[in-house]
């Protein structure tokens, strides 16, 4: 499933700098820039409400955002590269867009969704741990995946799923090591410690039993040797 496309209206802006940005925010607008390969940087402004609503609805890292400008005949296709937000109020301060071109590869991150409940969780008391939540990839815009779904229902305790275990469409390249772990099913630490303790106790009991048997055998051998010596002594006396 390829990535979704969203639209957002934008307007050109001439004023730049902190003072101009502050005035825009007070007027309900968000400053933004669009940059990209072999393209001039565009300074734009967005409606704060529209931008905030859109970014709450989409997967920001891999959704193609088409910026609609009245001055442009066609929408500008972009990917969101950075959203700056207020440290405690949370509202948007600035947005960076990267202009994309058809047929030209881009670097993106695609969310990884685990599907199903592992056998090791349902039947064996294990715990499913997801290590990678977003997978870095490189591909042309038309092949950007919307999401990577991974079926984990067959995983048992101590199973590990690596990047190399996943399948991707032709032309999609993963940009991290294929040996990286996506997820794993393991025994909870507390339970693992209990099992280890039980194993240690069983081992100690077995060792103690073995030592006891060795001691019994040693005593029996000692008694046999003593009886043999006594018999020899009587023979000598005769």
Reported as a single tens digit per residue, the pLDDT across 41-77 is 999 999 999 999 999 999 999 999 999 998 888 999 9
Q: Do residue 154 and residue 194 come from a single domain?
A: no
Q: How far apart are CA 36 and CA 118, in angstroms?
A: 43
Q: How far is CA 143 from CA 53, 76, 179, 206, 208, in A?
A: 26, 18, 23, 61, 65
What's the pLDDT band for 145 if we cut at 50, 70, 90? very high
Q: Do residue 174 and residue 219 come from a single domain?
A: no
Q: Do residue 178 and residue 195 come from a single domain?
A: no
Q: Do residue 92 and residue 139 come from a single domain?
A: no
Q: Do residue 179 and residue 196 come from a single domain?
A: no
State the average pLDDT for the chain. Answer: 86
Residue 87 has pLDDT above 70, yes or no: yes
Q: What is the pLDDT of residue 187?
A: 87
CB atoms within 10 A of CB 150: 19
Question: Taking the model in full, what pTM does it have?
Answer: 0.73
Taking residues 100-110, report their average pLDDT: 94
Q: What is the pLDDT of residue 191?
A: 53
CB atoms within 10 A of CB 52: 17
More confident residue, 148 or 226: 148
3-state secondary structure the chain: CECCEEEEEEEECCCCCHHHHHHHHHCCEEEEEEEECCEEEEEEEEEHHHHHHHHHHCCCCCCEEEEECCCCCCCEEEEEEEEEECCCCCCEEEEEEEECCCCCCEEEEEEEEEECCCHHHHCCCCEEEECCCEEEEEECHHHCECCEEEECCCCCCCCEEEHHHCCCCCCCEECCCCCCEEEEEECCHHHHHHHHHHHHHHHHHHHHHHHHHHHHHHHHHHHHHHHHHHHHHHHHHC
Q: Do residue 95 and residue 113 come from a single domain?
A: no
Quick: pLDDT tens for 158-213: 999 999 999 999 999 999 999 999 999 998 865 556 556 666 666 766 666 666 65
Considering the chain, what percentage of its residues have pLDDT values greater than 90?
65
Q: Do residue 115 and residue 181 come from a single domain?
A: yes
Q: What is the pLDDT of residue 42?
A: 94
Q: What is the pLDDT of residue 193?
A: 61
Residue 217 has pLDDT above 80, yes or no: no
**Which range of residues forms the domain containing residue 137?**
106-187
Q: Do residue 26 and residue 71 come from a single domain?
A: yes
At 148, give phi and psi (nearest 5°). Answer: -110, 110
Q: What is the pLDDT of residue 215?
A: 55
Q: What is the pLDDT of residue 48?
A: 95
Give the CATH number, domain containing residue 150. Answer: 2.170.120.20
Considering the chain, what percentage of its residues have pLDDT values greater than 70?
79
Find the range with the poorest average confidence among 86-95, 96-105, 163-172, 209-218: 209-218
Q: Do residue 117 and residue 134 come from a single domain?
A: yes
Q: How far apart are CA 6 and CA 209, in angstroms?
A: 72
Q: Do residue 117 and residue 145 come from a single domain?
A: yes
Q: What is the pLDDT of residue 223?
A: 54
Last residue of a domain, one of 187, 203, 230: 187
Taking residues 101-127, report their average pLDDT: 94
Q: How far apart are CA 185 and CA 178, in angstroms?
A: 19
Q: Do residue 60 and residue 76 come from a single domain?
A: yes
Beta bridge partners of 39: 36
- The alpha carbons of the chain give a radius of gyration, in whole angstroms, of 35
∠37-40-43 over CA atoms, to 5°?
120
Structural domain count, the chain: 3
Quick: pLDDT tens for 129-138: 999 999 999 9
Q: What is the pLDDT of residue 208?
A: 65
Q: What is the pLDDT of residue 216?
A: 53
């Amino acid at each position: 499933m390829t990535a979704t496309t969203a639209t957002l209206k934008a307007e050109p802006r001439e004023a730049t700098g902190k003072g101009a940005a502050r005035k825009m925010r007070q007027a309900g607008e968000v400053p933004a820039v669009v940059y990209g390969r072999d393209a001039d940087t565009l300074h734009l402004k967005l409606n704060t409400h529209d931008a905030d609503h859109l970014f709450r609805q989409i997967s920001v890292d891999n959704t193609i955002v088409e910026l609609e400008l009245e001055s442009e005949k066609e929408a500008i296709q972009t990917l969101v590269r950075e959203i700056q937000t207020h440290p405690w109020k949370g509202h948007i301060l600035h947005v960076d867009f990267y202009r994309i071109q058809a047929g030209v590869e881009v670097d993106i991150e695609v969310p990884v969704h685990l599907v199903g409940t592992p056998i090791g969780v349902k039947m064996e008391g294990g715990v499913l741990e997801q290590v990678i939540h977003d997978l870095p990839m490189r591909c042309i815009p038309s092949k950007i995946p919307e999401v990577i779904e991974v079926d984990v229902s067959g995983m048992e305790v101590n199973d590990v799923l690596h990047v190399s275990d996943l399948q991707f469409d032709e032309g999609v390249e993963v940009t991290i090591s294929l040996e990286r772990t996506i997820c794993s099913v393991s025994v909870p630490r507390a339970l693992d410690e209990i099992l280890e303790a039980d194993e240690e106790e069983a081992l100690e009991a077995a060792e103690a039993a073995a030592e006891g048997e060795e001691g019994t055998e040693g005593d029996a051998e000692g008694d046999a040797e003593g009886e043999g010596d006594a018999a020899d002594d009587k023979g000598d006396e005769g």
